[in-house]
A and B are shown apart, each in its own frame.
Chain A
């Protein structure tokens, strides 16, 4: 499920309470009906500091339920943002009614236990819940203080935030699924602005961990400040073909985009440029792409998927050859395969779909500096924009806004802004020159590392 599990649960009562509720509601399944109940609950705190003061402090607890009913291949769904008893009954009735309107589809069905044991993962930091709000507020204030003091060229701190969440979920079904999961995430993020007027530049830095004790405020500040100050004086570059070196954060975004074309749902519905290409060389031979939610270093780590199956390691591209896709139960049946335990859902209000959680590329042998020196001339891309408007995972067309620094003689040189880089995802995978050894686990579905790609079209002046 979205929230991830801990086998070494130190406060088991809350989780088992959720599971009991899910099991009880799922127990209402009628003959010939499959019934799945997903319940989740979470608490979160968000603090924003500004000019030495707390700009805002929000704290909240929320809970909800999503119920899926499958009758004779017809699926219905309903949700509610509460766990009140009367609402649960009404939600179930609504899901049943909704199922009557779907088209019967033999592939539609709930997950059934497949005997795979869940990994033992500790994704819960109790310290997060013990930390008083005042201490969280102090972290945001301290973050802002350090950002303002870090460099005389920083004229403004647009935001300095502390945020955390502790989420628990349970899923139970009439097909025999019972699973619980939980996780905590704590983070700080800061945006600094350097320069003035027409030459204002921004940089965002962050640090994320399972609990507040593992946050690195200085790293967040250093990152933000470096990213804005080195962009001062940036101009457009000249249009032409170029080699790009992607910052780990950009690589993480790129992998997340590629992952939607690896979703079994997209593939079985003919919406992926990878469809029908299993066994073919889709990337350079050095490229190995794996989705492994059982790796605890990943922020997408989870013991179970959104349908309650134990998560597992799935190799998607091996030595450049496409090995397969990620599937949830329904898309797997449509493909004539078994689920890869890759069901994901956006919370209680949505039904599961197939997706990656914890992608990473097998590290290469060179670090970031060595890659720069190896390529000599390139554009180092520190951030991209317009991913949702300029990347099409059906056609593979790729065109995004970019900013960064030219690489000259193997060293970072003058800053560049307001340009685009373009290619197709298909061609980019075939044009990877270097994969960095610098794997960095970032929030989101993919790890980051330096990635060097040849032959991109740069549009500027």
Chain B
């Protein structure tokens, strides 16, 4: 496949984009946008002791958005020729009724501020080297214990080049490279099977493996499975909870992150509506969403609406300072986007999404927090979560957790979900340590998945409901 617009490094040449934007506004649209994307990905899986499959793919296309009044029209195409783009522009423009009509401000190419340099493009790395990593991980996991019965290791890389232009004169490109490695293990014991999982994922190239040891990822996954072979059922009911540093940023992603997205706010479908300036969390909570932090999984130079990534303080010392915004929600409130307009790919409309969302350090000593917790549950790793932004109720699952007895970590617990209400749980945080760490995740909203980062220092919540079966 030939690279469109390769002479200038642009996916689509500027004069073509200008004509497409013009066509998009022809029927009365007030704002038009062209989003072009070219994505290459490679994945490789080793499972059951065999390299099962190496897969590579390419998806390329563009989406045209036209806004008129409160209405957005969207159409996309895999055909990046001028003819294909114009057809998409006309389809998107069809929603525009007779209106004032916008015009295209002359496009001005803006340079995206790169957050980190990719030193080794994955596409330039021999496939055999990627396979070698899988074999190493498999060996390391199996060497962790005889009880390890199954290992699956996966490698993935992706390069996503985007170009965004709109009728306000924005024209900007970004080249996003992401690399990921994950291992999941099964361990078998007298009480049945248990699973363990660990992943490392960053917005970097193959240089990821200069600093990340796949053997360690594998050993961590194996250890999680092995530990749970002797686990007892998690308790049932409300318990004090300690979240280990970096283990559960997902808590904030669910407990308040989604509820602070301006689209939920605009529809009065969030418990945080009308709460700006109010105390919504313990004074120990300062929460930030930051798409600029170098190689983290949720970082980028520009978002999928052409705005630069930003650092946004959402909650400062427990007080709600702001929501997260995309173009459309900002436009309605006469303010600018906060750099949170993202989409899964060119087939989707952008919406308000988190980037890297995390709680800042406090000043407590993590060991002391534990020592001062007579009983409770210690979470070393959380899995996924889910929230209803309207009620604020959310769940998050443990994948490595222990009982706390007399201020010490004792027995491992089987997996369970925890359930809480966002504002209530945020008020119950009574200790925050100084040992911040973060990790990668995938966030799903309205059928679209995007990479995000989550992080927190060790912290304690005075009471959360844990859904175990102990006592049966």
Contacts and interface: CB of A to CB of B under 8 A. Distances in A.
Interface of A: 50-51, 53-64, 75-82, 84, 86-87, 90-91, 94, 97-99, 101-103, 105, 133, 155-156, 158, 193, 198, 200-202, 236, 239, 241, 269-271, 273, 349, 351, 385-386, 388-390, 392, 394-397, 399-401, 403, 417-424, 455, 457-461
Contacts of A392: 195, 415
Nearest to B234: A399
B438 to A, nearest CB: 19
A390 B75 contact: no
Closest 8 CB pairs of A and B: A420-B467, A389-B397, A386-B395, A390-B417, A81-B59, A389-B384, A401-B395, A103-B50
B448 interface: no
Contacts of B49: 103
B46 to A, nearest CB: 8
A457 B472 contact: yes
Interface centre among B228, B238, B416, B470 (most CB of A within 10 A): B416
B57 interface: yes
Contact of A55 (B70, B188, B236): B70
Nearest to A272: B193
Contacts of B58: 79-81, 87, 91
B396 A386 contact: yes
A396 B191 CA distance: 11
A75 B55 CA distance: 9
B338 interface: no
Contact of A457 (B51, B53, B79, B469): B469
A239 B51 contact: no
B469 A77 contact: no
B237 interface: yes
A436 to B, nearest CB: 25
24 contacts: A58-B73, A59-B75, A79-B57, A81-B59, A86-B1, A98-B54, A101-B127, A198-B271, A201-B391, A270-B149, A385-B394, A388-B386, A392-B415, A394-B194, A395-B194, A397-B414, A400-B395, A400-B417, A401-B417, A401-B419, A403-B393, A418-B420, A422-B234, A422-B236
Contacts of A84: 1
Contacts of B47: 269
A80 to B, nearest CB: 5
B72 A55 contact: yes
Contacts of A455: 472
Interface of B: 1-2, 44, 47-61, 69-79, 91, 94-95, 127-128, 131, 149-150, 186, 188, 192-195, 228, 234, 236-238, 267-269, 271, 347, 349, 382-386, 388, 390-391, 393-397, 414-421, 465-472
Contacts of A76: 53-55
B416 A399 contact: yes
B62 to A, nearest CB: 11
Interface secondary structure of A, over-half rule = strand
A337 to B, nearest CB: 17
A278 B53 CA distance: 29
A193 B234 contact: no
B237 A423 contact: no
Contacts of B71: 53-57
Given A82-B60, A395-B195, A193 B465 contact: no
A261 B224 CA distance: 21
A77 B420 contact: no
A87 B71 CA distance: 36
B221 to A, nearest CB: 13
Contact of B268 (A102, A193, A418, A457): A193
Contacts of B95: 54, 57
Contacts of B347: 60, 62
Contacts of A91: 58
Contacts of B149: 270
A268 to B, nearest CB: 8
A200 B267 CA distance: 13
Question: At the interface, is chain B mostly helix, strand, loop or mixed?
Answer: strand
Given A63-B78, A78-B56, A53 B69 contact: yes
Contacts of B414: 395, 397
Contacts of A57: 71-74, 95
A271 B391 contact: no
Contact of B419 (A51, A101, A349, A418): A418
A217 B195 CA distance: 43
A386 B73 contact: no
Contacts of B467: 390, 399-401, 419-422, 457, 459
Contacts of B74: 56-60
Nearest to B39: A81
A408 B210 CA distance: 62
Contacts of B94: 133
A97 B349 CA distance: 35
Given A60-B347, A385-B388, A399 B417 contact: yes
Contact of B44 (A87, A101, A395, A458): A101
A409 to B, nearest CB: 26
Given A386-B397, A399-B468, A420 B195 contact: no
B390 A200 contact: yes
B236 A459 contact: yes
Nearest to B463: A461
Given A57-B72, A399-B468, A420 B419 contact: yes
A57 to B, nearest CB: 5
A459 B193 CA distance: 24
A239 B237 contact: yes
B275 to A, nearest CB: 11
Interface centre among B188, B397, B419 (most CB of A within 10 A): B419
A458 B238 CA distance: 12
Contacts of B394: 385, 401
Contacts of B267: 50, 156, 158
Given A269-B150, A418-B419, A102 B53 contact: yes
B70 A101 contact: no
A382 to B, nearest CB: 13
Given A102-B52, A390-B416, A422-B416, A349 B57 contact: yes
B386 A77 contact: no
Contact of B472 (A158, A241, A385): A241
A273 to B, nearest CB: 7
Contacts of A133: 94
Contacts of B234: 399, 422
Contact of A202 (B52, B388, B396): B388
Given A58-B349, A133-B94, A419-B419, A202 B78 contact: no
A112 B321 CA distance: 62
B395 A202 contact: no
A81 B57 CA distance: 8
Contacts of B238: 461
Nearest to A157: B267
A418 B195 contact: no
Contact of A390 (B51, B271, B395, B472): B395
B199 to A, nearest CB: 15
A388 B61 contact: no
A15 B79 CA distance: 21
A385 B50 contact: no
B385 A389 contact: yes
A73 to B, nearest CB: 10
A239 B194 contact: no
Nearest to A198: B271
Contacts of B192: 273, 395-396
Nearest to A403: B393
Contacts of B386: 385-386, 388-389, 401
Among A57, A64, A389, chain B packs the most CB atoms within 10 A around the CB of A389
A200 B236 contact: no
A385 to B, nearest CB: 5
A116 to B, nearest CB: 27
Given A396-B192, A401-B467, A417 B75 contact: no
Contacts of B72: 55-57
Contacts of B471: 457
Contacts of A459: 236-237, 419, 465-468
